[in-house]
Structure formats: structure tokens, C-alpha cells
Structure 1
């Protein structure tokens, strides 16, 4: 007899959407209540209403407020699907993601009720008379998330959180309710794939794979749990599991009466998986086949990488390190935090993930931290990180709030954690699972203990449930109870121990005070800046546009954000009067703030062994901490990351009352040579010079103390230091730019055709600081590959500009396009 393998039939066609209860605006009642709206699945209410032309873009002006009603309305999705007898015993309706509180009906009967965006749902449809030959009706009713969360908050008891709506009372993306960089969308919808799965005898219910290097070779283990179509046949089925890794394979029989088995393949020689900057991310194809007799009835495929990973937290004389070690090689983490790339996450496909992650590589990042207030990203995200060598740090989805430990959340959270540990643990890129974002810190410092008044706050999840599940399901994956976290039981945000978050600089202090800290690892810090000018003008139509005009305030979510922007600028640069220069000043100050911090943190390696910037990306057009804005355009901060995270850098840092040149080498080879240090006037005249020999070990740092004739000056407002090690340069200005005698920037431009755009040759005729081409003002699709360029009088450099349409020197030299720090000095 020929057996038919498991059949997966996506249910994507014929979906419609209707509002069923709640405050639908009168003008839309006929269109969304009386008449079905065509719906796309996967999708959400917002994308369907947008496609039908029934709502304005929520990302423009103040449309967010106009569309808040969507989250207070119940919605219903409907379709039909065909089915006929196919010889299989079992037929399961599978939802990979329902957002969020849903009731599922098949042919008029309720078959499931769910309330968790972060897990899948499998519904057997084998009850008598439920699945019928021919057309079957499928209906999914969604309860409005805002009133549901409010009701759950009352039932479970109020908990401390930083925002008004109780996102901690519902298993839904926290930032979906709004954040200090994010729009509140309150989505509902079938946001991941839905399908009918038909099968017989058994299926692969859970497959856990782990690749471990062993000398020159390696071992792949697959632990398989099966579900049987007929539980009474546990001892009679002729079931086997085959594990294939490249050309090697092993086959084992399922134990009689058991639904679990582990199978292993040993390879004599393998290539290690390495993170970006440390080697190639070699991957191996793995297939797990469930066999009945000689026929394959189900298959699961994975890609694995052979590497070891641990975090060194052994106490030392300075406290407790937090050092990532991959393949026995300590790794300086050059990271950025990741939020959902769109506030309507269904719009993010593999191509968009790849664009963003390749930008991360271009910025010299080697790690992405998936923040706990968002989502567990799709398989495409983690697959791409595996391919690109981008390490991933995944938070469990708990952020900045006390979370109830009672039912129904308790069981939902366990099921959600179990599913996502299994789904993610095979990825070579995954190097850390973390219990939460800032909740341990909040419990200690944010007055939670008094306000909780004895209520639970999530400790059970972070200290008991998650480590227990990881030990059971993926013991090879490191775990930390939170971020920040001190491994020795000290205050969770202790500078000397483990990971820490640094937010006092943005909130209350100047960014120069980053230099007052020597953390072991920085998991969050950052500075705000507006999006690219084209992105800003697309999303805000204020006339006149000012820093405080209504649309600008809507697109600034941080508490007193503009006040902090101005307060952070004034110590360093003049506050401009015109809007475009204000925009440039705030973008530049953001870039300099983060560059200053990163150069400082790197200078202390190996005491400090990582810095994760907040944040890489945006989810809509907004003034935020992101390096890439909501329209996918890099900001000047992107160039700051690229330069500060370069494999080899030179910077000047205060040391022991003087100055030192810090030479950092994050490559696998020794770097030696001569560092040429000069003290120059702004006109380029040499006041002092010294040549210092250096030899920096692979992955090492060298500190070169500067003699007083270099480190001291009587003309602080008109002189600076420059250090050159081959083509690597560092600079130091003795006083703030606003207090200096920096002249206007003068330079000439020549533009010539180049592959993918143009090559712009810049020749400076004065000292030019932080020259950056805001080319989106000329061509919205254009992007300059270099920015924040400092040139001495007479120096020349070439910048490649990616673009499709024509660009000429006059356009690029326009004062609103070619911007410098120089113009922000004179009052």
C-alpha cells in the first residue's frame, strides 16, 4: 500500500472582514458593517481597510487618533474552504498566529477560543459531522483588544507600567498599545498563515535539533515528539525516524508505546559557524523524516551551524563580566536593539527583513537584540541572521511592567514559551534568551514593591518557568533572567556586574557623561533624532513645519522629547532658527552622542565587552533613537555606527588626568605600525607632532598615553588633535564646537558616474567637520554610503551615492543637502 504523506493546504482565498460591535464611525457603518470588506490572510484589519480605501494612512499627521476606534471594535473574518475525503484519518485546522482574542467557528460550531498573539493554534476537525465534503464555512471572531485588556486588568489586578493601557494583562505585543517611539494601532487579525493539515498514523508534532562540534567533526541530535492519529495504536505502528545531515543519515525505530525518540548523526569533519567579523557562517541542511514502513509520512527541515557558545560571568577583580564566547573566542558585541519593523507587522516580508539586516551588517553590527516589547519574529528573520552571521539575543515578551502570574495568563505564557523555545533553539545565531526587558530593574527602583502591595509581578516566569523550560527543551541555549541583569545577585543595573542600561544621559544628563561609566556590558543606551527629511515631510504636512507644530508633536512619542532634544544640543551646538537646520542639528547631535559613547565603551575592552545601541530600526515615521527610520532610510546615526563599530579604530579618550590614543583591533590578525598624532590649528598648521609605535594583538586594545605637548593647548577654541594609523583616523577637539572658532566649511565637489549611482569627490579648502550628504532631499531613493566625514584643508575623499535618477554637483553642493557641523557653530 502506498501511503500519502501529510498534506498542507493554505487557506488564503475568499476572506472577508466585517465589524460586528463597537464604536464604528457613522460615516463607515455601511462600508464595514453591512458590506463585507475583502480581506487578505495573513493580514490585519488595518491593512484590509487601507486596501479598501476606507481609512487614511495611520502613519500620516494625526491619523493615529482618528483610527483609535479600530481597537475598540469586534471584527469577524469569513471564508470557505473545500474538502473531500483524501484517505487521511486526521484533519487539523492550524493557525500560526491569531491577533489576539479570537473565537473560531467551522460550519457554525465553535471549535476554539484563543487569547495569545504569540503562539499557534491547532484544532482537530474530526468530530462527527463537523468537516463536510464540499464547501466548509470558516469564521474567526475577534474581540476588541482594548476593552478586553482593560477587563483583564480589573480581573487580575492593576500592575505598574509606564503607559496608560494595561498591555501586561493580555498576551499581545506590548508596543501595539503605543510606546515612546511607537504608534498605538491596537490591531486585530489573522496575522500568520492558516491552513488545513491532513494526515494519518502520525505526524511530527515537535522537532528539536542541536548541532554540536566535536573536534574536527560534529554531531547533530534531533529529539522528536510525534502525535498519533489513533492513540490506541501506540505499540503496533511501524514508525521510524530518519535524520539526514548532508549525505549522512541515521534511522531509528520509535520505541513501542512511546511517542518520543532522539536520533543522532555524527560527521567526521565540519566547518564552524562564525559570527560576522569572525569567520564564515557555515550552515548545514538537516531533514527529519517520519517513516511508516518505507514511506515518508512527514518531514521537518532545519539548517544548523556547528558552534559553541557561552557567556563568561566568572567574577573577577573588577566585578562580574558579561562576555560572549563563541567557539572559545571572546566576542566584543557590536549590537543594536530591534523592534517590530512595522507597527503593522504583517507587512514585513522576507525581502524587507533582508534589507534591514544587510543594513545592520553594513553598519558593522554583529548582534541584534529582539526586544521584549515586540514579537517573536518570523522564521525568515532568524534564518537570515543565520545566513548573514548576525548573532541574535531574544527577549521573552515582557517589557517594562509587572506581569500577573495567575491564570489564565500563567498557562498561556508557559505554552507560548515552550513553543518559541522549540522554534528558535536550532538557530546558530541564537546566543541568548532573556527573561524580560527592565522588569527586574523596575521591581527594584521604580516603586513597584509599594504599588504592587503583595501582587505577583513575574518573578515566577523569570527565575523558575523559563530556566526550567530551557533546561528541558534547549539546554544548549544560554539564559539570563532579564536585561539588565547582574549574575551574582547584585542590583540588576549595577555597573560593575553583568549587563546594564544607561538612560540617565538621554533623560537628565549630557551625553559627555557616558565617559563617567565603565560598564561590563551595555545592553541599552541611545539618543534621539528626527527621521530623514523626506520621511518627515511625507508623514507630517504641517504648514509651517516647526519643531513644535502639531504633526511634529504627534510624531514625537517620548515624554518631553523635544525638551530633551534641545537640552542635549545646547551644550554642544547652537540651536538653529530654521526648520531644516534644526532637523540637521538634531540628527547630527544624535550621531555624535552615540559615536562618543561607542568609542568610549570600545576603548575599555576587554573590561567592557559589548554595547547594544537603542535602536536599529523604526516601525513608523517618528523622531526616535533609531539609526534607520520608518521609511527604511538611514539617518546620520547609521554612519556613526559604521565608523565607531569599524573593525579597526583610533580614538582619543581621557585617561588619568590626561589624554590617550586608543587603538582598537577587532580583527583576527595583529595590527602594528606607527600612529602619527598631530596637534593642528583649524587652518591646518602643525603645532606639535609625535609618532607612536603600536602593536595591537588580534581582538585587542592598546592605550598610548600622549605627551603633554600634544594633550595640552593654550588655544583650545582653535586647535584639535588628529591621529592617523594608515587609513584609520581619530580626532579630538579641545572644546565644544559652539565655543570654538571653527570657520565655515569650504569644499569643492566633482561628480562622476559610478556603478549603482555616482562618485562624489570632495576637496576641502577649509577644515570640514562631519560632512554628510542628505541626498534624500534630491532623490528620495538615494543613499550616501559615507557620512560624518571630517577633512583637513587640502584633503580629498570620494563618497559613493546610490541612486537611479540624475544627480549633479550643484544639487549635491546645495546648502540644504551638503551639511556640516561647521554651520552649527556661529550664532
Structure 2
């Protein structure tokens, strides 16, 4: 019944009109009160005549803590040490966060055989539901992920004035937030998100995300309701995006529910791209019928491809049921991406290899927790975050198992931008017993059997698979993070539930299992985490499909100032690297060994700018090192991690407020589909082609620049790179080592075609002692900047560096308002860019906010470029 949430993206006007008649959200006008203050039962409270004067406004969807924050009853837990000022449920007891939520709404009783349905898409952890004096659920609902559906047709008020009352119970075992991964681990005794008790990148959420955290909506159907449609697309053979396409196959199944006391016959129809199939159907009285429609052959299909490999075409398909009288009883519009995902075992790398539509894909992924730690989800935020991942030239997002099954709106964005999704179920090695851990309350054997209710876990799996399985972006299911579920859960999922409900997707036992990547190194099979010497990424072989490997990710000064109090805006101690308690509270990872080669800094702003140099270099090197050994050592890599749902000082390409840092653009550069790169170990220059076509008729241009801007041309030679391959061109070790010995050197690598540059990479290399002394000697570059409105509604920024001067190095471009505050989120096709003497670069700024900010300006500053603000022409 919940599938209709997935249709809002890009529907035809008629589809929107139909949906507007069929369903609407209950997302405003809620009131709430702590349960201990309510002296009547649910039957009385849900009577529209009962007064709820002086109740406080509630945020639904939202958690109890979200409502308290919005009502200014508690401070913003994202800022400073405010989270410590909020009572924790473990210490207060569950009554502190047990709340009633009440919503009055208009809905007249259905006419004829019409039916009205109430849906909850997520309540954490338990609830009882009442409508107009009637309790709707026979037994208390439990399970943070398990959806609920109630046929409320008999209980609607004749005058259309209805009241819904819901009491929400927190997790039975909220866990002690003792600083361990998932606190003392007992949060995992329930079926819900484990990170809410705290992790090494987040502080605990004080209410453990108790609340009606996801959508509530009303749906109206006829006598027959379509439930749980299942769309499977088959794309036989090996395809190329640009080729004429042979037919594709679409198989469709759905369950029909008859809510009336009489049998109904009629026609079930599936339509897509002006092609349809039908089936005559009979549904028994008060019963259901599961129907598989005839196979549909789609001629000349437009295929869905992962980002970087082709377009993400999405069809608008419809399922409808019309009874024997010709009356349409229900219609469902579904977004369909025609694609087929295959997996193979690569015996050379000893790891899983992924193919889409018959073409092998080198996986470049990012690990994702959730969009917001307090479950404050919006479609626009999902769209922005997934677009950032697409802009990083990634093609997969892994949803980490200590969080949740991501929402349909997240998958819609991944469908749109071409991000494959690797979805863990709700286990973690930390809470579920993989390791001995003194922070955990119970021993490993006990934790190994979490959660307490295995049946609830399996019911939640069934439900979530049905909710998400039609998304083309959904590529893999996984038993859990770094551990399998208990044996009985595992057997049911792997041998029964997933084959029956979704037999086309590969199931990984756990996130770093041997079925994904043979662990020849021992240990846990993940990492390393934190700053590594650049040579490590290139020269030290790690797991052939690494599910978690990453570095740092602190933002610049503007980012830090959003959540650190003014008195804490102090750089780490240059001698010891120590920081104050607030930095540690926000999970800071030390940079100092990496920043010291860049020389002294006088304040936090300078320190943070130097940190961006480290950020860029770390993630470019990570992606280059894995790409350089594509199909030899590796079949893929997934960065730990690419985003934070909280204001943490680690592991993020953009901050909680959606402000990107240099990690994003270093990743973007290192992961670009056609890329030219330099191995710092042996001096080899190589090219990577992550497309399905030959890259031919390109000239390789290699140049160096010193800190004065003097250049040396090392080579200009024609090269080519085959599809999905790496090509070594030449070693320049002797020349580069000689040129960089004293003060370091800038190194420009380009692939150029007759019509322009097709790949451009720019390194700053240290001197023979590993220090960047040349950067401190850079004179000021007189960078000339202009900005104008682009035809597509964005902004075009032009950066011109005069000849006979130094490189204009590492320039940050930002869209700001009249107060010079950054406008967020917006998107840059490149950033932290360097402009060579005598050259010009154009940066495109896009996003809806570029169109909505008439007084906006462009800010530009660099390592040797003074900050300037440019009026947009």
C-alpha cells in the first residue's frame, strides 16, 4: 500500500492529478503532550470533542526531540556541547520521551464501495493508534521500520471531522550511552537504529529517535486496492548506451485486495511506453489475489545506467484495475528504470565484480549513515546529498547497517542521479557481538542473538523489501555491517524471503564478507581510516573490494563557525596537536602530522585552509590508487564515509549544513571517468578510462611550474586508452625528482583533443624533505574574476590569471548573500581550482538557490589570491 510514495518524481500531469485525489499526507497541525500529563485513555482522547487546549505543536514526521527543539524546550544538539544539556533517556527512564500525538483532519465517509486507508511509514519504537474513539491496532505495534496500514473506512465521522491519536513508546532498551560503539550495545535488543546510542562519529540522540519519524498519509481507493507491485526488468546480452537497443523484458506482479463482502472480477492492466499487458482477474470477497501479469516486451528501450556510464532514463508506468462494469477501482503510477545488474566472482582479484546491462562497472562508492541524525528528512535534502555523490563521480552508495533502510525519497534521488545502492540490514559487528568489547553490557554469545524478537526483524525485512524493490538504483542487499544476523534470521532471509520477494539482487552475508572481497590480509577486513601517506594509497595493496576505507574531512573556517562556539574557534596546538573538549566532543581526528609540512599557521582560518590541501590530496590519492590497480588488485572501493548526519569533525565530503569541503573535489578529480594521474612512488603517468568507449586521438601534455610561475614542458605525445581500463604511459620520476628537490613543484597533466581539454589534473609536490616550502614563497597572483548568469539558470564564474606571474593556487569559489554568508546548498562543477599563468578557467554554479538569490555574489580566495567578492552580471 505504500508504493505510491515513490511516484512523485517527474510524473505526468494526469498522474499527479490522480494521485492528488487518491492520497495526501498528514504533515501539519499535529499537537503533542507528554503521556504522563494525559489523564484519559486513547478512546477518549481521540474523540474530536475532547479538548486538547494548551497542548504544544508537534513536528510530524519527526521525533520527540525534533518537536522539543522546534518548541525551544531544549537547545540545538548540533551546536557546541548543547547535546549534554538534553536529558538522556537512559538516565531519565522511558516516560520522559513517551508522548501522545494528536491530529484533527477532514475526511468524509467514502461513498459506495470506496475505501479509506491510514498509513504510517515509520514509528519508533512502539505505538497504539486510535481514531474517533476506536483503537485501530489489536496489539501494540513495535519495530522502527515496520510500516502500518489501517482500513479506517468504518470509523470515519459522518460530519467529516476526525481525530487521530497516537501514543508513541521509546525503545524498551535505549542502552547506556557510555561512549562505546552503540553505547553498551543493548540498543540492538530492539529492531531499530543502533547509532542513536552514540558511535565514534556521533554523540547519542537523547530520545533514541522516538516518534512518528516518517510519513503519515491517507489513501483512498475503490473496492479493490493494489498492493505491493513488483517490477522486474531483464536486459539480455551486452549493451552499450549509445547503441540501438534490442528488446528488454518487464515482468510484473501485484496483490489485489477486496475490502467488500462480494467477489469482484475485472481487468488488471500494466502500461509503459505505449505498450501494455492485461489479465482477467477474480478477487474473492474479503480476500486477496496475487497476480503475475503476462511478460511485456519493450521494443527499443531506453536503458538506465549508473552515473558516469550512460543516462538514467526513467519510465512512468501504470498499474490499474477496472471492474466488470468498467469502473476503475485503483491505479498506481510507478517509476521504472530498465536495467539488469549482474555479479561475478573475479578469480584474478578474488573479489566480487559488478556488471550493469552486461558491462562491467568499477565500483567507486561512498558509505552513508542517514541524511539527518534526528530523522528530519526532506526530499530536497536527499536530492542535494545524492547529487553531491554524483558530482564526486561516485556510482554507489552503501547504507550502513547501524542506521536504517533508507526512505523512498532517497532511492528516488539515486534513481535520478545514477547511484547504485548497497543496502545493509540492521546489524553491526559492534553491537551484535563480533568483537570482545569492555564497553558492552552483555557477552558476545548473548549479543550474537540480538535482537530479542527475531520474528519482528524478519517481518520488517519482508516489509522493507516490498517497499523498495522497484527502484532501479537498489542493487544489493546485505545482512549487516561487519557481521551476519543470527543463524535463523540469516537462513530465512537468504533462503526464503529474498529469493521469493526479490530474486534478482545479490545478497551479501555481511559488508566485508569473503563473498564480496576475499580477506587475504587478516584482521577485520576494513580500513585503514585516517590520514595516510600518499604512497600508501598507490603502493600498498588492501582488500580487493574494500567496503570501508577513508581519511579525514574537517571543513573550512566558515563550516566550523556554524557549530563551534566562538571561544572554541581555536586551531589545534601546533606543537602537540591537542584540541579542546568541544573539538573532541565532535570527534576530531588529528591533522597535525599532515599539516606541518605546509608550514606555520597563525589562526584557525589558516589552519583550516591548510587542512583543505590535505583533504584534497588524501581523497584524490585514494581514488587514484584504487583506480590505478583496477581489475588487477581491485574491483571496487567504498569510502568511509562521505557524509555526516551530525556536526562531526571527521569523515565527510560536505558538512551537516551541506557546505562542501575539498574532500569532495579531490574525490571528484580522482574518480573522474577519464582521468590522467601521477604515481608518486615510481613517477609513472597513467590514464584511466571508466567508460565503455575507446578514448583516442588525445595528446598527453605534461608541464611543471615553480613557485615563480616558470614552466617546463616535459612531453607532448598522442595516446589512447581502451574501455574500462588503465594505461601506463611513461615514467617521469627522474625529471620530477630533480625539479622538486629544493622547493617542490607544481605538476600539470592534461589529455587534450582537437576541441579542447578532456582531462586535467594538477599536483603540488613537496621538496626532497617532504615539505611544501615553495608554497610559502608564492607571490600574490592577480586573478581576475567575473560572474554572469548562465542560460540554464546557473552562474558562470570566469577566473583569468595573467601571464608572467605565479600559478593562482587552490581557489575556493562560493556563492554568498549580501552579508557574505554562503548560500547552501549549491553545486560547483569544480572547486579548489588552480589557474596556470596566462590561462582562464570557467566554473559553473548550479542549483535552485542560484535562481532564487538576486542579491547573491561570488566569493573567490586562494592560497596566493586575496579574497574578493564579485557582483553577478
State whether TM-score is above 0.5: yes
Tell me how far apart the structure 1 counterparts of residues 656 and 248 of structure 2 sit (CA, whole Å).
42
Question: Structure 1 residues 474-483 or 335-344, which shifts more?
Answer: 335-344
Q: Residue 659 of structure 1 corresponds to which residue in structure 2?
A: 683
The whole-number CA distance in structure 2 between the counterparts of 1:606 and 1:165 is: 39
Report the more deviating stretch, 39-48 or 304-313.
Answer: 39-48
Match of 1:209 in 2: 231
Q: Within the alignment, does 1:274 sit opposite 2:305 as a pair?
A: yes
Give the TM-score taking structure 2 as reference length.
Answer: 0.79
Report how far residue 812 of structure 1 moved: 7.5
2:638 is equivalent to residue 612 of structure 1: yes
Shift in Å at residue 704 of structure 1? 2.4
Q: Where do 1:544-693 residues align within 5 Å?
A: 545-547=569-571, 553-554=581-582, 556=584, 561-562=588-589, 564-570=590-596, 572-574=597-599, 576-607=601-632, 608-653=634-679, 658-667=682-691, 668-677=693-702, 682-683=707-708, 689-693=714-718
Separation of aligned partners in 2, 1:119 and 1:616: 27
1:483 maps onto 2:508 in alignment: no
1:635 Cα shift? 0.6
- Distance of aligned partners of 1:199 and 1:331 in 2 relative to their CA distance in 1, 3 Å threshold: closer
Q: Supply the distance in 2 between the matched residues of 1:407 and 1:504 (Cα, whole angstroms).
A: 29
The equivalent of 1:393 in structure 2 is: 422
CA displacement at 1:198 relative to structure 2: 5.5
Q: Paired residue for 1:56?
A: 75
Deviation at 1:794, TM superposition (A): 5.5
Residue 762 (1) aligns with residue 762 (2): no
Q: Which residue of 2 aligns with 1:779?
A: 821
Taking structure 1 as reference, are residues 20 and 767 closer, same or farther at Cα in structure 2, changes over 3 Å only?
same
1:216-231 matches, within 5 Å, as 216-229=246-259
Q: Is the 8 A contact 1:540 1:552 kept in 2?
A: no
Instruction: Identify the residue that residue 241 of structure 1 maps to in structure 2.
Output: 268
Q: How does 1:409-424 map to 2 (within 5 A)?
A: 409-424=453-468
Task: Supply the distance in 2 between the matched residues of 1:678 and 1:711 (Cα, whole angstroms).
Answer: 10
Provide the aligned length of Structure 1 versus Structure 2: 765
Please say if 1:76 is aligned against 2:106.
no
Tell me whether 1:345 sits opposite 2:375 in the alignment.
yes
Is the contact made by 1:396 and 1:434 (CA closer than 8 Å) also made in structure 2? yes
- Which residue matches 2:128? 103
Secondary structure of 1:281's counterpart equals coil
- When structure 1 is superposed on structure 2, of 358-367 and 250-259 the one drifting more is 250-259
CA distance 1:85–1:637, shift in 2 (3 Å) = closer
Alignment deviations for residues 601-657 of structure 1 (CA, whole Å, 9 cap, x no partner): 1111222232322333332333121111111111111111221122222211156xx
Give the whole-Å Cα distance in 1 for the aligned partners of 2:413 and 2:769: 42
> Which stretch of structure 1 is more off in the superposition, 282-291 or 66-75?
66-75
Quote the RMSD (CA, aligned, Å): 3.8
SS of the aligned residue for 2:777 comes to: coil
Q: Which moved more, 1:386-395 or 1:48-57?
A: 48-57
Q: Distance in 1 between matches of 2:775 and 2:556?
A: 26
- Partner residue, 2:43: none
**Residue 444 of structure 2 corresponds to which residue in structure 1?**
none
Residue 317 of structure 2, aligned match among 276, 280, 286? 286
TM-score by length of 1: 0.83
Unaligned residue ranges in structure 1 (runs of 5+): 23-32, 441-456, 819-827
Q: Which residue of 2 aligns with 1:825?
A: none
Report the CA distance shift for 1:552/1:354 in structure 2 as closer, same or farther (over 3 A).
farther
The Cα shift of 1:664 comes to 1.2
Alpha-carbon spacing, 1:471–1:762, altered in 2? closer, same or farther (3 Å) = same
Q: Is the 8 A contact 1:679 1:710 kept in 2?
A: no
| Cα distance change on mapping 1:717 and 1:395 into 2, 3 Å | farther
CA contact (8 A) 2:235 2:357 kept: no
User: What 5-or-longer segments of structure 2 have no aligned partner?
Assistant: 1-17, 38-51, 237-244, 433-446, 790-794, 869-873
Tell me the residue number matched to 2:333.
301
The one-character-per-residue Cα deviations of 1:117-162 (angstroms, maximum 9, x if unpaired) are 21211234578xx6654444422112233x64349x9xxxx9x955
SS of corresponding position for 1:675: strand
Could you tell me how far apart the structure 2 residues matched to 1:429 and 1:99 are? 26
